[in-house]
Amino acid sequence: MNVIDVIMEEHGLKSQTTFWDDFTIADHFGTAAVQDTYNRAFNEWKDNIEYLTEFVLVLNHKIWQHHDHNIELERVYDRLWREADGWCIENLTGEDAQYYFEVTD
């Protein structure tokens, strides 16, 4: 069980994506692979609130996973998390916004 599974379970939810594994694989190939994984996943799933929320959680936890031992990956994940979270703050409304903020809080 990975950290995202635990977080989702705390909210009575079940992880629905492979984002954690996808980014873990990308980590081994460097920042360009992380960026590519981000671009493909965000473009494909930004209209699915459950997937988008899990996506942002993964990005946030990847920052901390790489904190203090891989500054390059830590910085790229921080930038991508800020970008995705900012998009959510600017674009989500109603029940989608409520879901997002409850799960990511």
pLDDT digits (tens, 9 = 90+) for 82-97: 999 999 999 999 999 9
Which residues form the domain of 13?
A: 3-104
Q: Given pLDDT bands bounded at 50, 70 and 90, which one contains residue 80?
A: very high
Separation between Cα atoms, residue 83 and residue 21, nearest integer Å: 21
Domain count, the chain: 1
| Joined tokens for residue 5 | 């599974």
| Alpha carbon 33 to chain centroid, angstroms | 15
Angstrom distances, CA of residue 70 to CA of 62, 77, 78, 82:
11, 11, 12, 18
Whether 17 has a pLDDT exceeding 80, the answer reads yes
Q: For 1-70, where are the alpha helices, taking DSSP H only?
A: 3-10, 19-27, 31-45, 49-66
The pTM of the full predicted model, rounded to 2 decimals, is 0.92
Single-letter amino acid code for the residue at 76: V
Single-letter amino acid code for the residue at 32: A
> Taking the CA atoms of the chain, what radius of gyration do you get in angstroms?
13
